[in-house]
Amino acid sequence: MTIREIIVVEGKDDTAAVRRAVGADTIETGGSAIGEDVLKRIELAHERRGVIIFTDPDSPGERIRKIVAERVPGAKHAFLTRDEARSRTGMGVEHASDEAIRRALEAVRSPGDESGSGTAPEIEWSDLLAAGLIVHPDASRRRERMGELMGIGYANGKQFHKRCVMFRISKAEFACALEQMEREGLLT
């Protein structure tokens, strides 16, 4: 599997893991202290080939994802679940199996054009509330599983809603994921 876009990762160990799993070029952010020169290279890469943001499923990784996505609004996103990124020695892209990396890159998500569509988002804050994805004792675990099922990764409530809007998650896709969670006994 060869990836046309340039993959934005956090560090050299992530680059090694990605290259072990697929044919791809990467740009390393150097961690959460992402500099202006790196952001400019990411912008150029996006203009020339497109970019896929592929950061660790943790707070620093989400911070980097947010910084890059704000700077490069059309960037695509790939997500690993926390379980896929976890090993005995740590958590991150570098700890994921080749299979998990390929799966994440095959399921890449593109943001929708929120501003130009003129349509309201399908998933409202009230949908998250009704599903127990916010303001519920088990909301965090539910969001984690819902993010896995919809391919948008784990996030806190506010960021989860933003991702549902950004990736244009439909009511049908949302309902399908809820039904799966019901079958798994997560919505009791």
Q: What would the pLDDT profile of 97-154 be if each residue is shown by its tens digit?
A: 999 999 999 999 988 744 444 456 789 999 999 999 999 999 999 999 999 999 999 9
Q: Which residue, 61, 76, 111, sits at the end of a domain?
A: 111
Helix count (H) and strand count (E) of the chain? Answer: 9, 6
**Side-chain half-sphere of 40: how many Cα atoms within 13 Å?**
3
Q: What percent of the chain has pLDDT over 70?
A: 96
- Dihedral sign for Cα 179, 85, 93, 100, please: negative
Structure-block tokens of residue 168: 């244009």
The pLDDT tens digits of the residues spanning 152-177 come to: 999 999 999 999 998 889 999 999 99
Structure-block tokens of residue 142: 């539910």
Rounded CA Rg of the chain: 16
Nearest to 68 by CA among 106, 12, 27: 27
* Domain housing 30: 6-111
Beta partners for residue 122, in sequence order: none
20 plus 59 within the same structural domain: yes
Report the distance separating Cα 38 and Cα 40, nearest Å: 5
86 plus 27 within the same structural domain: yes
Question: Letter for the amino acid at 138?
Answer: D
43 plus 72 within the same structural domain: yes
| 1 domain residue, yes or no | no
On whether the CB atoms of residues 152 and 163 are closer than 8 A, the answer is: yes
Report the distance separating Cα 22 and Cα 155, nearest Å: 26
